[in-house]
Structures are given as structure tokens and as C-alpha cells.
């Protein structure tokens, strides 16, 4: 065999080998796509802290999976549960690749949510408590508004419900028309109401990361307020949309209702210290009096009845 023939031989072998490998890769890729579907980056990352939530956990998970927005991921952070919560989470994660399970020792909801944020890959971030329910259209509509108006935060309404079938929309949580707040005008507006909860909002993830907005650790009853007062101080645009999406399960065994009045006040004091420290580090020029009066104005229907209940009970 001449030198030229040797070269031709090996070249033909290489061509055949390459063709076979390309065909094999294509076949495997097609097989994986048909089995799991092509990877689509999530538009919304839903973060759910879980602690001893076996009673309602499946219902909460199903509400997310039934979302009309399919490009989502559900990040469930098991916070040292002692019941079957972790087992339930793992079962769901096996059935749906959009579910991500993080298992940590018990560190509280603030750490759980922060670990969820760190893991999230969605364009936006939402929060859901493990005993509550989100409406099917919530994330699709909120995401659409966020991008249409280029907002940092989208807020929607909340309704109460209970296991005995009782329901109702809280007066402070009704958003009856579209409202747009730009360049921190939220602080100057009058008469708006919204829920304290971070679960009634959709946040742009890059906005949260860029401004180092985190839930205060070591506070058991006012993490949401601390997080939102920091977020609102940095947002260039906040919009309220006229929809009630979040279903809040009335549960008197929750942390808020199980705290004494003195501990509740102590927690709010820590929350204000956290917010003041954040404002000082980020050069936010909003006085304490203005923060306090605005907090009580916006959240008075939610905050004061709770305080009266606790004080009246002699706790």
C-alpha cells in the first residue's frame, strides 16, 4: 500500500467514525428531549420554606405546578422538618424536574428563603408559604406586568381562607386598580394598602441580588417587613396590579400568633434596627419617623388588630 493510499484509507475511516458519532449523539439528544423535554430557563423561581408542613404541603405544591406559566421552578427548602415533609418533597421532585429540594438543619424562614434565592435561576423570584395556595394565573399575569412596565416589584392582593371553608379578602390587601410608583414615589403616595407579606409580590431577581436585599436573620415575626422596606428603598418602579392571587390559610399556631406581646415588640425593634443599618450602608435618605408613619399607614389594618389581640389576651 502506497503512502497516498494509507492516507486515503485513514481519512475514509475517520469520516465513517465521525458520521457514526454524530448520528449517535443526535439519537441520544432526541431521546432525552422526548423524555424530559428541552431545558427552558425558568421565568419565575418560586421559593417555599418548609417546616413540619406535611398536612398542607401537597396542596401548596400542586398549586404551583398547576400554574399557567410553565417556565417556573419550585425551590423547596426543608428547614429541618421532623415530620414527613422531606419525604413528600423528594417524591414530588422525582416526578417533576422543575422541583428542587434543599435540605438544611433548622435555621428559620429567613435563612431558608435566602438559600432559595441563592439557588434560584429564574428571571423573577416569588415566595410561597407551605400551607398557602397561589392561584393558577398568578405568576403568568404578574410576570407579564413586570416586563410590560419594566418594574422591579409587582404587588397583588391576598385573601384569607380557613379549613372550615371560611374565606374573605382583607381590606388592607385589596388592590382595586393599577398603580405605578416610580423613583421612590411609593413613600410619598397616600392611601394605598397592601399586604406585609413577601408572598404577595414578584421581585426581579437581579434587582434583589444587585442591591443585596436579604431577609433579616434572628427575627421570628417580621422578616417580610424588613425585606420589603429594604427592597422598596431601592426600587425604581413598583406596580400594584388589580388582582387577588394569594390564598392565606388562617392558622393560629403560626409563629406570629404564638408570640407574646413583649416578644413581638422586641422582634419589631430588631427589624427596625436591621432596616436602619441597611439604609445607612446604602445611603438611603428616609427618616425613621417617615418609615414608621408610612409603615403604620399602609399596614395598619393588618398590624394593629394583631397587637390588640395579643395585648387583650394578656400575653
Please state, as a whole number, how many other Cβ atoms lie within 10 Å of the Cβ of residue 261.
Answer: 17
Q: What pLDDT, in 10s, does the model give residues 148-170?
A: 999 999 999 998 888 876 666 65
pLDDT, position 46? 98
Please tell me the distance from the alpha carbon of residue 68 to that of residue 160, in angstroms, as a whole number: 22
**pLDDT given at position 189:** 58
pLDDT score at 27: 44
> Taking each helix axis from N to C terminus, what angle separates 223-234 and 109-119, rounded to the nearest 10 degrees?
40
Q: What are the backbone dihedrals phi and psi of residue 130, each rounded to the nearest 5 degrees, phi first?
A: -80, 5
Could you give the percent of the chain with pLDDT greater than 90?
53
Residue 257 has pLDDT above 80, yes or no: no
For the stretch 215-249, pLDDT in tens is 999 887 778 989 998 999 899 999 999 999 999 99
Question: Higher model confidence: residue 93 or residue 257?
Answer: 93
Quick one: fold of 44-312? Spore Coat Polysaccharide Biosynthesis Protein SpsA; Chain A (3.90.550)
Give the pLDDT score at 231: 94
pTM: 0.80
pLDDT given for residue 108 in this prediction: 94
User: Which DSSP category does 55 fall into?
Assistant: T
Domain ranges of the chain: 44-312
Distance CA 135, CA 202 (A): 14
Q: Indicate whether 87 pLDDT > 80.
A: yes
Mean pLDDT along residues 282-287: 80
Q: In which band, very low, low, confident or very high, does the pLDDT at 8 lie, cut at 50, 70 and 90?
A: low
Q: How high is the pLDDT of residue 73?
A: 98
- Could you write out the DSSP letters of every residue in 208-264? HHHTT--PPTT-SS-HHHHHHHHHHHH-SEEEEEEEEEEEEEP-TTSHHHHS-HHHH
> pLDDT value at position 175?
75
pLDDT at 289: 53
| Residue with the larger pLDDT of the pair 217 and 304 | 217
How confident is the model at residue 270, as a pLDDT?
Answer: 87
Highest mean pLDDT among 38-47, 104-113, 164-173, 285-294 belongs to 104-113
How does the average pLDDT of the chain come out, rounded? 81
- Which CA distances in Å does 227 have to 62, 79, 140, 196, 275? 27, 19, 24, 10, 8
Lowest mean pLDDT among 199-203, 221-225, 279-283, 285-289: 285-289
- Report the pLDDT averaged over residues 122-139: 97
pLDDT of residue 278: 93
Q: Say if residue 266's pLDDT is above 70.
A: yes
Q: Compute the average pLDDT of residues 34-49.
A: 79
Amino acid at each position: 500500500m502506497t503512502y497516498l493510499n494509507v492516507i486515503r484509507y485513514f481519512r475514509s475511516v475517520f469520516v465513517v467514525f465521525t458520521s457514526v458519532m454524530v448520528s449517535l449523539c443526535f439519537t441520544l439528544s432526541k431521546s432525552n428531549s422526548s423524555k424530559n423535554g428541552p431545558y427552558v430557563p425558568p421565568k419565575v423561581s418560586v421559593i417555599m420554606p418548609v417546616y413540619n408542613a406535611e398536612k398542607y404541603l401537597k396542596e401548596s405544591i400542586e398549586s404551583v405546578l398547576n400554574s399557567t406559566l410553565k417556565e417556573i421552578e419550585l425551590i423547596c427548602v426543608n428547614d429541618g422538618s421532623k415530620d414527613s415533609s422531606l419525604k413528600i418533597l423528594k417524591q414530588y421532585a422525582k416526578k417533576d424536574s422543575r422541583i428542587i429540594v434543599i435540605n438544611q438543619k433548622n435555621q428559620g424562614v429567613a435563612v431558608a428563603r435566602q438559600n432559595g434565592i441563592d439557588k434560584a435561576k429564574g428571571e423573577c423570584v416569588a415566595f410561597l408559604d407551605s400551607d398557602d395556595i397561589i392561584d393558577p394565573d398568578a405568576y403568568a399575569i404578574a410576570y407579564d406586568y413586570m416586563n410590560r412596565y419594566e418594574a422591579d416589584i409587582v404587588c397583588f392582593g391576598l385573601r384569607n381562607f380557613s379549613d372550615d371553608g371560611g374565606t374573605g379578602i382583607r381590606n388592607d390587601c385589596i388592590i382595586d386598580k393599577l398603580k405605578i410608583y416610580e423613583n421612590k414615589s411609593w413613600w410619598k403616595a397616600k392611601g394605598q394598602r397592601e399586604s406585609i407579606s413577601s408572598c404577595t409580590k414578584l421581585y426581579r431577581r437581579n434587582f434583589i441580588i444587585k442591591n443585596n436585599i436579604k431577609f433579616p436573620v434572628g427575627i421570628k415575626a417580621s422578616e417580610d417587613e424588613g425585606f420589603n422596606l429594604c427592597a422598596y428603598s431601592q426600587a425604581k418602579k413598583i406596580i400594584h396590579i388589580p388582582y387577588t392571587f394569594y390564598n392565606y390559610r388562617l392558622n393560629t399556631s403560626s409563629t406570629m400568633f404564638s408570640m407574646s406581646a413583649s416578644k413581638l415588640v422586641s422582634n419589631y425593634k430588631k427589624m427596625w434596627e436591621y432596616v436602619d443599618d441597611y439604609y445607612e450602608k446604602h445611603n438611603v435618605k428616609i427618616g425613621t419617623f417617615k418609615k414608621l408613619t408610612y409603615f403604620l399607614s399602609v399596614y395598619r389594618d393588618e398590624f394593629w388588630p394583631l397587637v390588640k389581640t395579643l395585648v387583650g389576651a394578656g400575653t
